[in-house]
Structure 1
Amino acid sequence: MDKLRDFLKSKMGQLLMALCLIPMAFLGFSGSFGGASSDPNTVATIGKRSITTNELQNAITNYRQALIAQDANASQINESVLKDQALQDLINSDLLVQQANKLGMGLSDKTISMILQKQRVFQDENGEFSNALFANFLKTRGITKDQLFDEQRSQYALNQLNRSIVSSSIYPISAINSFINLQLQTRNVWLHRFNWQDFANQVTVSDNEINDYYHQHQNDLQSIAMVDLSYITLTPEEINVEAVTDEEMNQQYEAYKQELNIDDMREISQILLTGEDAGSKSQEVIQKLADGAKFAALAKAYSDDPSAENGGDIGRFNAAVFGNEANKVKKALNGLKVGDVSKPVTTSYGIQIFTVTSNNNDKIPSIDDVRPELEDRAIRYKREQAFSDKVTQINELAVNGYSIQDIADQEKVTFKTIKDFQEEDNQTELGQPIIIEKAFDDNIIQEQAVTANINVNSKTYWIQPVNYRPIKSLSAEEATPVIKALLTKQKASKLALQEAQTTAKAIISKEDMTQQKVKFSALGSINRQSQKLLEAEKAVAFSQKAPDSGVISISALTDLGASVLVVDKVNEVEQSQLSDIDQRQTALIVRQNLGQSDLQDYLEYLRITHGVKINEEAIHSGTL
């Protein structure tokens, strides 16, 4: 049902999904880690296996990209929390993979091959498995066939074990229906908000009230930690580079052909022979070819590859398909013209015989055809290299104890300062969590050091905090303006609530709203998750019944002051309106949510039995 789908896309629905899926996020990070090691680049060990700083950094990057893809503001991402979450997910993933393998949950190479051949992404327009599409996938991922098989094997085992734990919880379908019906309830709402600032001039705060509040809350009244922050910033666009040389153009051209896999445009077919008699069969095939037999016919008769149905056609030669054996195959194909047949080649697939069916190398674009694009690529590459060198140089100066002003003078970059840079409620240009974390790092503050480069969105920063003012209890004099502002808001909000209550009592019908001194906004039909309401307004919006043909008015104290909500009857959703599919899908979500506690208990057990050790020094080093 569309309403249920809308609910699952709503804030409450997404929260429910998040509660179910966040603990399972590590399923996307499964893979094989190296053996245990005392290497300082090892951030954690799980039994005899280890997680490296590189793997953790990749996981952090994946998380960050996923958040940004969901429209998260990159500057507001808490890097410390992100790092901790990524590490815990990597550890959880490996614990479950190890346990799944121990329990014998896995797939054979033959089964994985069958699964991959049925994947639509690897099928051509005729629905047939395409070696070319498969090869391009491997190249895009930057992995070999064996690595993909290992990844699929681990992922399957991980999912199988996870499902056996998470999906076991029981939750009555009647309770699920009641929960859904509550979330789908709607009613029309008219709203007016009384802002507390409009009543502030009607209240006074005495010295005695301030003193009483101070003595009652003295331990809670503290200053905000501050530093004076000096910084420089740099972007690749600021770097000037020299004109592109012919040699650089040629390098870009070769890279361009490799990226598009157009360095060899020959179409090839193969005959794959497997089994103990593959050797004798290969000689038999070679002899028949010499006697004039057609390669396509022999492929259909002899080949053990799915391409046999197409006469052995596997498209253009792609090295990524053959992994470490690519050079061996490439050597066998060297010099072959259309119609020529290679010698038998022994690979991990079996024994393969190839023929060239067409040659389109004359269609490869010349360097002049793509010169504008190559020039842009070359300039971008040179600028990125120069930018990287600049970053390294500045980092070296920082390590050698140069002040940020000295660095700015030497490297000819702009030097800026922010006075009273706050640790909390920071609204400055540099108010991003990762910069705040570095600015108030104990070691950096103590040494008054310049940090290594900090990347935020498209900019790179270096900062130097000085004149640190730690959190401290406020004196009575320092706390006075803070307390006065707080008490003023409290008193003004009470006046706003009184006005809201008076207004609410005067409204019995819709027509009464037009007789009030204030104007009401018609919000239309809303549900319990409506983003048009404040949290305090949501709490009361469905708290009272209204007559079928009338309205009721409700007042509420809010963070902004007070509100009056005029609401009509609640529109209920009958259980019969929910399809069986919708009920089952939501039941699964709720049951998985309940099953998370079982999963966390199981992971805690695995942590104890496998001996998880975390290298805090490596985690908090400057490499992460």
Structure 2
Amino acid sequence: MFDFFRKYNKIVMIFLFLLIIPSFVLFGVERYQGSGNEEKVARVDGLDITKPEWDAQHRIETDRIRQQSPNVDATMLESDALRYATLERMVRDRVLAAAAAKTNMTVSEDRLARLFAQDQGLATFRTPDGKFDRETFMRVTGRTPEQYEASVRADVVTQQVLLGISGTALTPPALVAATVNAFYDRREIQVARFAPESFAPKVTVSDADIETYYKDHTSQFQAPEQASIEYLVLDLDAAKKNVVVNEADLKAYYEANHARFGTKEERRASHILITAPTSMPAADREKAKAKAEQLLAEVKKAPGSFADVARKNSQDPGSAEKGGDLDFVTRGAMVKPFEDAMFALKKGEISGIVETEFGYHIIEVTDIKPAVVPPFEQVRATIESDFRAQQATQEFAKAAEIFKDTVYQQPDSLKPAADKLKLTIHTANNVARTPAPGATGALASRNFLSALYEGDALERKQNTDTIEVGSSQLAAGRVTQYTPAHPVPLAEVKDKIRAQLVTERAAVLAKTEGEAKLAAWTAKADGATFGAPVTVSRIDAQSQPLPVIDAALRADAAKLPSLVGVDLGTQGYVVVRVTKVVPRTPPTPEQAQQESAQVGQSVTAAEAAAYYNLLKERFKAEILVPKPADTLPVAAAR
């Protein structure tokens, strides 16, 4: 067959050309690029959010969380709840951006400059001479300064959208009182509990009952589908092992970075400062300079008097009383003109007049600690580790291409990729579609596990695509054995069903008995048996179930004492005797002010959320994927 292609390759090429070109015309180039098949997960103001965009944003957020909290549970980061919360935030940002655009909101250059000046994080990217280190910023943040500026503008503008609502919220005293009292209202109660355990001996469960329950609730007794798998992980550590190191490279690295492996030169200096900030009038600056020149002449004439002259004349409050002593410093600790002059002097020498933004200085170097650079052999291990780490990123990029190509081109085995890249083939059993509690690495990645259960990976046990499972972490796997979901045999769950039926029926008996006692004690209080009185509230439940607290607080305070019944389901039944209202201890003025502020914050959040919901309707925002049961709440305003 291959001989045929070699012999008639021109004919084959023409045939393929005639076959492919019409399909481009009929269906569009985007079908071949894949963009036409991107799943839409949300829509705002007529614009779609696609699954790749969602995945990318969630990856950015999880990477940031991993950097801030390296020990975070990886399973949580890939949970449906957290992924859905990411999508909700994306929708929120787009809704607020659309509202800002419609109202033509902008951010002035002056305000933006003030924000940047106040941002302490940006200060770390400035060099000693005050310039912004663009390359370091891009390497650390993964964004260009222009992208960062655009994101700050967008954040400020979207905050302005909600500020008109959140900045005008009102919390009158009556609202504060009603809200606070809902938490602090107290009742004295007595409880008579009818526990299912007390009625369990009266319950009889037959084998027929168990079999009937099993047949009626088959879906409750399903063993989930599981797979045995093997998989590869390519990360920076694996790439680092493939870095080829030779002595020449290490010595060149040592020469280029030797200062990092030792101690920098340190200098101890004293100075006399005559302050003259650049904002000072020129005439006053000339007087300050003349004063400095006079003092310079004094110390040049009698160098041993430098400390005394500094104590009497220096206008630097931090060092004057110490004779001008600044202790030991390295390069980068002082402003550049001062530093250049100090490091140009020999021990015991006194400088001329040095002008800085603070004024005029006279500097004396009192001691020098030379830089100490350890020999190459002493730091070779450290150099090799640093060199491997530096080269690992480049090696990872090359290895990633080999990894992707090999697992794709040889889909029936992971061994070729493992052999090429010297990777270990890992195995795992009982792997489900979702991460197991406590899972780590690739097994904690929802995307990786989903790929194992899709298409050829499951049906033909071929390699999955290469999946990004973390920052600089790629994985590919294949299913070696698959067990579909199946009913658990009755024999294995018989005892569980029996216990469940006993609990349910005992709870029914407990409720029946409790309701009978409630009716009897309501008609005639004599003979009622309750526990000791306890005082409860919503913030101090005294170990009582929440339904008991709610029932006690809803009882008519004008008709106490009174009895109420509370059905706790499988936990039994409770008759509650509400005896009296217990007044709250009046709060201190500080506590009352704090409570008012907390209620105000809640009202502000509620109004902002209501306005955001209105904006969602206005801009026809909708999420097109199902909402998971364990969804996390996302505030409308940050």
TM-score, structure 2 length as denominator? 0.53
In structure 1, distance between residues paired with 2:569 and 2:619:
46
Residues 45 and 98 in structure 2, CA contact (< 8 A), matched pair in contact too: no
Alpha-carbon displacement from aligned partner over 1:272-312 (angstroms, at most 9, x marks no partner): 999xxxxxxxxx99xx9xx99999xxxxxxxxxxxxx99xx
| SS in structure 2 of the partner of residue 230 of structure 1 | strand
The CA RMSD measured in Å over matched residues stands at 7.1
Q: In 2, Cα distance between the equivalents of 1:464 and 1:509?
A: 63
Name the counterpart of 2:76: 76
CA distance in 1 between partners of 2:482 and 2:426 (Å): 19
Give the Å deviation of 1:181. 3.0
On the 8 A contact 2:415/2:425 being kept in 1, the answer is no
Q: Deviations over 1:480-512 (max 9, x none)?
A: 866873464143244267579989989946579
Partner of 1:227: 226
Give the drift of 1:563. 8.5
Taking the aligned partners of 2:115 and 2:529, their CA distance within structure 1 comes to 65
Name the SS for the 2:552 alignment partner: coil
C-alpha distance in 2, partners of 1:175/1:612? 35
Using the TM superposition, give the Cα deviation of residue 154 of structure 1 relative to its aligned residue in structure 2, in angstroms: 3.4
1:403 equivalent in structure 2: 413
**Residue 63 of structure 2 aligns with which residue?**
61
Instruction: State the secondary structure of the residue aligned to 1:229.
Output: strand
CA contact (8 A) 2:171 2:599 kept: no
Q: How many residues end up aligned between the 2 structures?
A: 504
Q: Distance in 1 between matches of 2:567 and 2:231?
A: 48
Counterpart in the other structure of 1:495: 506
Q: 1:413 and 2:412 equivalent? A: no
2:615 to 602, 617, 621: 602
| 1: CA distance, partners of 2:567 / 2:513 | 12
Deviation at 1:201, TM superposition (A): 11
1:114/1:170 Cα in 2 relative to 1: closer, same or farther (>3 Å)?
A: closer
Residue aligning to 1:105: 106
Q: Which runs of 5+ in 2 are unaligned?
A: 1-32, 270-275, 294-314, 317-328, 346-350, 355-360, 518-526, 626-638
Matched, 1:465 2:471: no
Q: Is the 8 A contact 1:541 1:565 kept in 2?
A: no
Give the structure 2 partner of residue 155 of structure 1.
Answer: 155
Give the conservation status (yes or no) of the 8 Å contact 1:229–1:418: yes
Distance 2:331 2:265 in 1: 10
Helix, strand or coil: the match of 1:579?
helix
CA contact (8 A) 2:229 2:481 kept: no
Distance across 1 between alignment mates of 2:535 and 2:382:
53
Matched, 1:584 2:594: no
The alpha carbon displacement at 1:552 in A equals 10
- Could you say which residue in structure 1 is the equivalent of 2:546? 538
SS at match of 1:543: helix
- The TM-score with structure 1 as length reference comes to 0.54
Compute the displacement of 1:602 (Å). Answer: 1.4
With over 3 angstroms needed to count, the CA separation of the structure-2 counterparts of 1:316 and 1:386, relative to structure 1, is closer
1:454 Cα offset (Å) = 5.5
Pairing 1:379–2:385 present: yes
Q: Which runs of 5+ in 1 are unaligned?
A: 1-37, 125-129, 275-283, 296-308, 322-328, 343-354, 513-523, 615-624
Q: How does 1:42-57 map to 2 (within 5 A)?
A: 57=59
CA distance in 2, matches of 1:193, 1:263: 80
Residues 196 and 470 (structure 1 numbering): CA distance in 2 closer, same or farther, change over 3 Å? farther
1: CA distance, partners of 2:473 / 2:581: 51
- Aligned residue for 2:180? 180
Q: Could you say if the C-alpha distance between residues 439 and 486 of structure 1 is closer, same or farther in structure 2, counting changes exceeding 3 Å?
A: farther
Name the CA shift for 1:294/1:100 in 2 (closer, same or farther; >3 Å). Answer: farther
**Conservation of the 8 A alpha-carbon contact between 1:190 and 1:567:** yes
Contact between 1:181 and 1:575, CA under 8 Å: does it hold in 2? no
Deviation at 1:159, TM superposition (A): 1.4
Q: Provide the C-alpha distance between the structure 1 equivalents of 2:237 and 2:257, rounded to a whole number of angstroms.
A: 23
Are 2:230 and 2:477, in contact at CA under 8 Å, matched by a contact in 1? yes
The Cα offsets for residues 569-593 of structure 1, whole Å up to 9 and x where unpaired, read as: 8766467555234313322323322
Task: Trace 1:268-307 onto structure 2 (pairs within 5 A).
Answer: none
The one-letter amino acid of 1:105's match is: T
Aligned in 2, Cα 1:49/1:539: closer, same or farther, shift over 3 Å?
A: closer
Tell me which amino acid in the other structure corresponds to 1:103: N
Does the 8 A contact of 2:564 with 2:577 survive in 1?
A: yes
Which secondary structure state, in structure 1, belongs to the residue aligned with residue 551 of structure 2? coil
C-alpha contact 1:542 1:570 (8 A) present in aligned 2: no
Give me the whole-angstrom Cα distance separating, in 1, the residues matched to 2:151 and 2:363: 34
Within a 5 Å distance, the mapping from 1:194-343 to structure 2 comes to 203-207=204-208, 210-211=211-212, 214=215, 223-232=222-231, 245=247, 247-248=249-250, 251=253
CA contact (8 A) 1:171 1:590 kept: yes
Amino acid at match of 2:211: I
8 Å contact kept, 1:438–1:451: yes
**In percent, how many aligned pairs have the same letter?**
9
